Amino acid sequence: MSFGPLESALKRALEAPKNIPVSSLAGMLCCDDAGFWEEVRSASYSLKLKHIGPAVSFRGLVECSNVCAKDCYYCGIRKSNKNVCRYSLPESEIIESALLAKELGYGSVALQSGEIESEANTAKFEVVLKALSQYLGVTLSLGEQTEKVFQRWRDAGAKRYLLRIETSDRELYSRIHPNSCDFLRRQNCLRILRDLDYQVGTGVMIGLPGQTFDMLARDIAFFGETDVDMIGMGPYIPHPDTPLKGAWDSEKAYKLGLKMIALTRLYLHDVNIAATTALQALSPRGREEGLLYGANVMMPNITPLKYRENYKLYADKPQTDENSAESREALSEAIISIGERINYHSEGNSPHYLARHS
Ligand code: SAH
Ligand code: SF4
């Protein structure tokens, strides 16, 4: 098989961002040749070295609440799942967990939860942000909100917001969400966040039922059109209590997850890309592999252990106590073993965002 056209597309991709047509991205995703993919991986890694260096930034992830008003068909904590024991960490516990992250040397935290739109929830995160933002970079991932709420959280010190579009394909989006979930509202939230000068992150699930290589290639183009600063994407993993559960190929989802990281780095060059827990769920060294495919951020879970089993977005989500000295040592060794270092005490801002502000 000749990879001539794909190889020349790969060369051009290295020259400038967005210098690769969607059809070539789809062609690469479709190709399964190990030799060709080693070239793609190595090209992506060289871009990471150029823009970021052999370094990984940590964001301590706090899963603040599994209460959610939404019913996404793929998600284990969707509101209709009656098998979930619901919890919400009080302000004090969120702050305590985040400050523990600071002690562990993390320069930033990500606060994530189900989607709640209420004055009480808005005010709660204002309190948390005011307590934390002088010490740590804070990323929020609290779902869709109004412009006013995004503004209040920005004023209280939030710097980054992660809101995955899940899929940029409107038709697939409508198949994996109930009618009440509006693609355009989600897309508009990304625009508002950008206008409010957040570092904006988005991403997709990879390996969804009915998702094609073309759709994934267009997802990468969507990231470029939206001009995002951060990408958090990972394999879709079914959850048994959800309507979307069903036939699924774990190895395919894992491989595609790595390929998407490499192609996104090749397309966008200087954004932050996370090696997500979903990769680790499918392979114990999944996150380290993600780094070798071009990712530069990891999100060790620092949620207090007693809450973890109730924040299962998908089946077999790793429950490791990443605060323990043992697992921190193991993670640090794994990172060193691939020739990278950890950016301790650094907020790990997106170079793409910093370039916009220089
Ligand atoms: N409620 C917020 C944030 C929490 S959910 C929101 O939806 O934006 C965080 C992410 O978990 C979602 O964006 C989705 O991409 C991911 N997720 C949910 N269910 C998943 C599954 N079954 N497999 C993989 N990722 C999943
Ligand atoms: Fe709620 Fe987010 Fe899960 Fe959708 S993906 S059900 S919004 S927690």
Q: How close is the Cα of 313 to the center of ligand 1, in Å?
A: 6
Q: What is the pLDDT of residue 329?
A: 82
Query: Is residue 166 left, alpha or beta, with left meaning phi > 0 and alpha meaning psi from -120 to 50?
Result: left
Backbone phi, then psi, for 153, in 5-degree steps?
Answer: -70, -35
The atom of ligand 1 lying closest to the CA of 204 is: 15
CA of 271 to the centre of ligand 1 (A): 21
Nearest ligand for residue 141 CA: 1
From the number of C-beta atoms within 10 Å of its C-beta (0-12, 13-18, 19+), residue 247 rates as exposed
Q: How far is the CA of 145 from the centre of ligand 2 (A)?
A: 13
3 state DSSP class of 19:
coil
Separate counts of helices (H) and strands (E) for the chain: 15, 11
Give the bridge partners for 161, in sequence order: 140, 200
Ligand 1 close to Cβ of residue 73 (< 6 A): no
Alpha carbon dihedral 129, 132, 138, 142, in 10-degree steps, equals: -40
Phi/psi of residue 311, nearest 5 degrees: -115, 60
Question: Quick one: which atom of ligand 1 is closest to the CA of 75?
Answer: 19
Q: What is the pLDDT of residue 235?
A: 96
CB 220 near ligand 1, within 6 Å: no
Q: What is the pLDDT of residue 317?
A: 80
Which residue has the least CA distance to atom 1 on ligand 1? 114
- Compute CA 265 distance to the chain's CA centroid, rounded to the nearest angstrom: 14
| Of 63, 75, 317, best ligand 2 pocket probe by most atoms within 8 Å of the beta carbon | 75
Determine whether the shortest distance from the Cβ of 233 to ligand 1 is under 6 A: no
Angstrom CA distances, 116 to 72, 80, 98, stand at 14, 15, 21
Contact predicate 13/19, CB 8 Å: yes
Closest ligand 2 atom to 79 CA:
6
240: tokens are: 């048994």
Indicate which ligand has the atom closest to the C-alpha of 232: 1
Q: Is 239 in the pocket of ligand 1 (CB under 6 A)?
A: yes
Please name the residue whose Cα sits nearest to atom 12 of ligand 1: 164
Angle of CA points 43, 329, 237, to nearest 5°: 60
Residue whose tokens read 């969507």: 222
**Residue having the nearest C-alpha atom to atom 7 of ligand 1:** 143
What are the structure tokens assigned to 120, written together? 């009480």
Residue with CA at minimum distance from ligand 1 atom 11: 313
Mean pLDDT by 10 residues, the chain (358 residues): 83 96 96 95 97 95 97 97 97 95 92 98 98 96 98 97 98 96 97 98 97 98 98 96 91 96 98 94 93 96 90 82 74 92 91 90
d(CA 276, CA 257): 10
Strand partners, 62: 111
User: Measured from the CB, is residue 245 less than 6 Å from ligand 1?
Assistant: no
Q: Tell me, in angstroms, the distance from the centre of ligand 2 to residue 72's CA.
A: 6
Cα four-point dihedral sign 250, 65, 109, 268: positive
Cα 231–Cα 282–Cα 220 angle in degrees, nearest 5: 25
Write the residue with the smallest CA distance to atom 2 of ligand 2: 114
CA 75 to ligand 1 center in whole angstroms: 6
Q: Which atom of ligand 1 is nearest to the CA of 68?
A: 1
**What is the number of the ligand 1 atom nearest to the C-alpha of 144?**
8
CA 76 to ligand 2: nearest atom: 3
> Quick one: which atom of ligand 1 is closest to the CA of 141?
3
Residue with tokens 């693609």: 183
CA-to-CA distance for 54 and 341, rounded, in angstroms? 6
